[in-house]
Amino acid sequence: MSILKDLEFRGLLHQITDREGLDKKLSEERVVLYCGFDPTADSLHIGSLLPILTLRRFQLAGHIPLALVGGGTGLIGDPSGKANERTLNGPETVEAWSQSIKGQLSRFLDFSTNIENSAELVNNYDWLGSLNVIEFLRDVGKNFTVNYMLAKDSVDSRITKGISFTEFSYMILQSYDFLKLNETKNCSLQIGGSDQWGNITAGLELIGKTTESRAYGVTLPLVTKSDGQKFGKTEGGAIWLDANKTSPYQFYQFWLGTADNDVIRFLKYFTFISHEEIERLEVEVQTQPEKREAQKLLAREVTKLVHGGEALESALNITAALFSGNIQELTRKEIEEAFKDVPSSTLEQEDMALIDLLISVGAAPSKRQARQDIESGAVTVNGVKVTDLDAIAKDLGRLGESYLVIRRGKKNYYLAQFK
């Protein structure tokens, strides 16, 4: 099956220029393509995962992906999809974020030097940073009319609120990226999110006016949830690809919680499992949704892709331990990961009574309530129910040498660490 047919099956072809011509080119030669990622934070989030994995699909199909880090355009700010002007970050910050993002992109693409279609990381600051403004305006800017730029959605949507000349110029800079990669890397295809259509087609116009090359563009769909909620956001904020910002356990749980109405679409988008397996799971979601096999497979596959097999095993261990209540075998690292977002307290008094401990960590508002909870069997410590009103903290054992995991009721967890 051709790469475009696979993308079509997975619902990943939102917009495409010259489908017939691109399909023919992809079938006849090894195509160089690129996608850009501006460093707007020290980590990418899962909103960037779809284009990253699409680059990977093209590489697996034999083509050559260029992952572009926008060290230059990141200093300007992309107006696409934004209602207001971005806050400009300093060169040192953008450079540090660029280096961090380079490392993340390296996890998904094969940069081996012993293969013919090795991926390559590029940074557009390498050519944008040394541009002469007069030459740029004469040689590049003259190819764009203001009317043409105003007609693009990324600009038109901002006209009423206002857009700075800085962000207005972003489209020309990204177009120049495509031209530069076309000239130096023989890159003939740019992919991006649906909000990048205007920037991509502008790049195609520039290449058409200044070279004899034939180039193409493909955009991917905006990922949304069936209930209308924004994809990739939780009550705790964005889901990041950095394990220090979103732990592998939290990452796994995010995907495990996918709704039945979304899970098949997300399996198509974010995994590399076969068409046949997806179609089998689609039937199962419709006939046996209580098994949640599709959600479990989605969570395993994406967590392994992003964080690796060892992190996936840890996430599975934590999930199983919390489900069964048997948390005694969790490692110190797994305890810290599992209870990262629960109320936590650092305590010194080892001979503290359990009643006082419950108040100290916020599990009970008063001694009276604490006694009632203990007597009714609503309190567990380190997975063991405690009903002794005279229990002392130091006698309740430790997880990871210093932790007490306290649960009040079925879902309310608190973490106490003794120095």
Residue ranges of the binding site: 34, 170, 174, 233
Q: Does the CA dihedral 293-296-300-306 come out positive or negative? A: positive
Q: Which of 192, 200, 210, 156 is nearest to 52 (CA)?
A: 192
Q: Which of 256, 220, 160 is nearest to 33 (CA)?
A: 220
Q: Which of 60, 14, 69 is nearest to 218 (CA)?
A: 14
Q: Which residues are annotated as a binding site for ATP?
A: 233
Rounded Cα gap, residues 419 and 409, in angstroms: 27
Rounded Cα gap, residues 177 and 138, in angstroms: 17
Q: Which residues are annotated as a binding site for L-tyrosine?
A: 34, 170, 174
Residue with tokens 């300007």: 76
Within 351-408, residue ranges assigned H as helices are: 354-360, 367-375
Q: Which of 255, 153, 204, 241 is nearest to 16 (CA)?
A: 204
Q: Which of 83, 94, 43 is nearest to 167 (CA)?
A: 83
User: Rounded to 5 degrees, what are φ and ψ at 32?
Assistant: -95, 125
Rounded Cα gap, residues 240 and 142, in angstroms: 40
Q: How far is CA 364 from the centre of its chain?
A: 37
Instruction: Tell how strand 237-238 and strand 384-385 pair up.
Output: unpaired
Gap between the terminal Cα atoms of the chain: 60
Contact by Cβ (8 Å): 153, 197 = yes
Contact by Cβ (8 Å): 97, 38 = no
Instruction: Tell how strand 32-37 and strand 187-193 pair up.
Output: parallel
